[in-house]
Amino acid sequence: MSLKLTILGCHSATPRVNANPTSQFLQIKNHHFLIDCGEGTQVQLRKNKIKFSKINHIFISHLHGDHMFGLIGLISSFRLLNREKELHIYGPKGLKDIITLRLKLSDSWTHYKLIFHELTSNSSELIFESKSVEVYTIPLDHRIYTNGFLFKEKQGERQLDMNAIKNEPEIDICDYQNLKNGKDFIKEDGSVILNTSVTKDPKPIISYAYCSDTKYTESIIPIIENVDCLYHESTFLKDRTDLAEKTKHATSEQAAMIASKAKVKQLLLGHYSGRYKSKAPFLEEAKVYFQNSILAEEGQTYEIK
Amino acid sequence: MSLKLTILGCHSATPRVNANPTSQFLQIKNHHFLIDCGEGTQVQLRKNKIKFSKINHIFISHLHGDHMFGLIGLISSFRLLNREKELHIYGPKGLKDIITLRLKLSDSWTHYKLIFHELTSNSSELIFESKSVEVYTIPLDHRIYTNGFLFKEKQGERQLDMNAIKNEPEIDICDYQNLKNGKDFIKEDGSVILNTSVTKDPKPIISYAYCSDTKYTESIIPIIENVDCLYHESTFLKDRTDLAEKTKHATSEQAAMIASKAKVKQLLLGHYSGRYKSKAPFLEEAKVYFQNSILAEEGQTYEIK
């Protein structure tokens, strides 16, 4: 299995020509999640040929504009496109007030159901769960209340070892689900076929952690440990560690330190400040601490295996 | 003299690739006005190389998203760019609540002074006045409270007729301002030189009327009569006059009828619905009723003489 992550925007602060504020589109199992929604996100969705109707869940990290000024526009466009499916929005307390005040004053209530899941906890919590996927918050340390999000597949069923099963004539196709659930098989003579002798471990689960915006904080390590891919903001290079500290952002070096300490498989850098002309130094600085670092680029889709 | 109008966006409803919602940048005398501010306006300003610092007055017609979802982002970017000059925003009551709630919840108050001029009147009123320019509201008929805006130069001083003056030796350079102000000249012997014999009429003033969004309404004619340029929304072609009626928009035919009845010099069509692949029919339909019609195109600057 794999996750697919499309970067719609990976720049900080003000939108510029060819530099969009944060938004990501994540495909995990049969779910499609939008993560943050800076101004211009709906045009980025169109440019990347992502159907609006796929989006049923939007996760907003915090209420700074470069992470959510595009949300009201997207909600309104859903309305104009005659959306009927309900839309779930997860984000800090206050988000509902912001959106509903606008809808009220423009007399543009949605015909579809808009369901806000407002977040206030400072501990990691499960905020979305389906048969196959879970989403947890990752409390971050930024200037205002901010959460990252951990997306992970649920542990699947055990896998049948068909070679072993065909040597056990008493096992019928009707027994497969019990075996997948981990149960042993009891033969007619009362003897036991151990589950592990006819099944294999479930497929490994895949996980993705989104951490933006945040200063360097090791408190997130227990939550993101061993994820397959970590997106960690790297607003600055190490030359402006002072500014990162002051604005509660991180440098690419710090992002790589977190990646290394959390033993993640891959680090995706982003949320670049507009002050830097080239992104190459972000990668160079990160690789010193964490070799498997890559740069987020707008319009790129990353397959996480 | 002339006005310069740059079209930043002239499409209705949802932003699309190469189809931006409404925003215009107007240069009149020494003023620079932003009219409406749909999502993506700040990127359009950058694309058109318009300096953010020129903008001190923003006029918002109504609270539908395609006319103002970009405003909060622009206000925030001004802040990030360390703006110090005050910013005046003219728009319907409620606009201040929308903006200030966002600034409060993101803990991002502007360091510069943000001055809201909230509009509630259903009659045309003077909302901006400087030495050289006036701006009046044009009450429109749309689904929610909406104003167009009439921008006009103030009548200038009378122009000295230097050929006539040189034949009047008693008129000194110190008397010129009185003549420009329209006063007659009293000679030492008590006889009068009529002002009109030594001055010419002031230069003609130039005016621009912005009318979007609105249904066909003749109530605006007395306000926009004889303007040099009328931007009138033409969301639909005449094939969807029914839809224009229902949504309180206008067709290009109706825009042209208004232009004709108001005896304006030029009609600029815009606010096109995304349902039409080509803009050419908008022009064709308008020209039947008003020959001097032109199409608004994004990124184009129109000189109004």
Q: Taking CB atoms and an 8 Å cutoff, what residues of chain B touch A46?
A: 16-17
pLDDT, average across residues A124-141: 97
Q: Quote the pLDDT of residue B1.
A: 65
> Which residue intervals of chain A bear CATH 3.60.15.10?
3-156+203-304
Contact partners, residue A63, CB within 8 Å, separation at least 6: A91, A92, A94, A95, A98, A144, A145, B102, B105, B106
Enumerate the residues of chain B whose CB falls inside 8 A of the CB of residue A69: 69, 72-73, 76
pLDDT the model gives residue B305: 87
Q: Which of A211, A248, A215, A216 is nearest to A231 (CA)?
A: A211
Residue B94, Cβ neighbours under 10 Å: how many? 18
Contact between B14 and A80 using a beta-carbon 8 Å cutoff: yes
Q: Which long-range contacts (CB under 8 A, 24 or more apart) does B277-285 make?
A: B281/B237, B281/B252, B282/B234, B282/B237, B282/B252, B283/B252, B285/B237, B285/B238, B285/B251, B285/B252, B285/B253, B285/B256
Q: What is the mean pLDDT of each run of 10 residues along chain B (305 residues)?
A: 92 94 97 98 98 98 98 97 97 97 95 98 98 97 98 95 95 96 96 96 95 98 98 98 98 98 98 96 98 98 95
Beta-carbon separation of A14 and B105 below 8 A: no
pLDDT above 90 (res A112): yes
Q: Which fold has domain B3-156+203-304?
A: Metallo-beta-lactamase; Chain A (3.60.15)
CA distance A97 to A105: 12
A240-287 residue pLDDT tens: 999 999 999 999 999 999 999 999 999 999 999 999 999 999 999 999
Tens digits of residue pLDDT in A189-224: 999 999 999 999 999 999 999 999 999 999 999 999
Residue type, A26: L
Using CB atoms within 10 Å of the CB of residue B164, give its burial: 0 to 12 exposed, 13 to 18 middle, 19+ buried: middle
pLDDT tens figures, A155-171: 999 999 999 999 999 99
Residue A303: the pLDDT is 97
pLDDT at site A263: 98
Average pLDDT, chain A: 97
- Which residue numbers of A are catalytic? 66
Contact B96, B60 (CB under 8 A): no
Question: Which residue is catalytic, options B36, B66, B213, B228?
Answer: B66
E strands, B11-123, are: 23-28, 31-35, 57-59, 87-92, 114-119
The reply to whether residue A144 touches residue B94, judged by beta carbons under 8 angstroms, is no
The predicted pLDDT at position B9 comes to 98
pLDDT band for position A1 (cuts 50, 70, 90): low
The model's pLDDT over A72-103, given as tens digits with 9 standing for 90+, comes to 999 999 999 999 999 999 999 999 999 999 99
Determine the Cα–Cα distance for residues A176 and A180; give it in Å rounded to an integer. 6
B29: distance to nearest CA of chain A, Å?
29
| pLDDT tens, residue by residue, A2-12 | 799 999 999 99
At A2 the pLDDT is: 79
**Nearest CB neighbour to A106, from listed B14, B65, B81:** B65
pLDDT bin (cut points 50, 70, 90) of residue A305 is confident
